[in-house]
Amino acid sequence: MDNNIYLIGFMGTGKSTVGKQMAEKLGWNHIDTDDVIEDKYKMSIPKVFEKFGEDSFRRLENQVISDLSAKSRNIVSTGGGTPIYHGNIDIMKDSGLVIHLETSTDILWKRLKGLGGRPILKIYDTFEKFNRLYLDRKTVYDMADMIINIGERSVIQVVDECIDRIFYQR
């Protein structure tokens, strides 16, 4: 299995941390789509939203995913909205294996509420709105090739389960 591995899922599911550790274990390259955008534009994601708006941010995300789809052996940690827009879910599925890191919105809401740095949380600022956004996105998340329930497990347990299921159980 040489193709890219894409981690998708709602905000707060640990896509970046899990991706980084998976890449270290496998000796693959790790790419975080938010980091690529921040590095390229030399500004934080909230600033990108503020200055250019969400539509432009979604176009940038699509550019990053399209560029990566021509490459291999990358563990790609995506943003929570990445698979939803511009057919990115299909681009990812066509160029690698897509893993959905999943847990309940109760756990995620507890983890994230009150934290800064996520412009989407300014709009979806109550549990009801947050949960509705998750449900709206879930059909796309469920198109992943593999779903890993992260529950309250540690990062390393999730990393090991991903690697085990990708390379030893399929």
Residues lying near ligand S3P in the complex (CB under 6 A) are found at 11, 15-16, 34, 45, 79-81, 118-120
72 or 111, CB closer to ligand S3P? 111
Q: CB of 139: closest distance to ligand S3P in angstroms?
A: 15
64, 3 Cβ separation under 8 angstroms: no
Q: CB of 9: closest distance to ligand S3P in angstroms?
A: 7
1 or 53, CB closer to ligand S3P? 53
17 or 72, CB closer to ligand S3P? 17
The residue number with the shortest CB distance to ligand S3P is 79
Q: CB of 28: closest distance to ligand S3P in angstroms?
A: 19
139 or 169, CB closer to ligand S3P? 139
Q: CB of 35: closest distance to ligand S3P in angstroms?
A: 10
Q: CB of 123: closest distance to ligand S3P in angstroms?
A: 10
4 or 78, CB closer to ligand S3P? 78
Q: What is the DSSP string of the chain?
A: --SEEEEE-STTS-HHHHHHHHHHHHT-EEEEHHHHHHHHHTS-HHHHHHHH-HHHHHHHHHHHHHHHTT--SEEEEPPTTGGGSTTHHHHHHHHEEEEEEE--HHHHHHHHTT--S-THHHHS-SHHHHHHHHHHHHHHHTTSSEEEE-TT--HHHHHHHHHHHHHT--
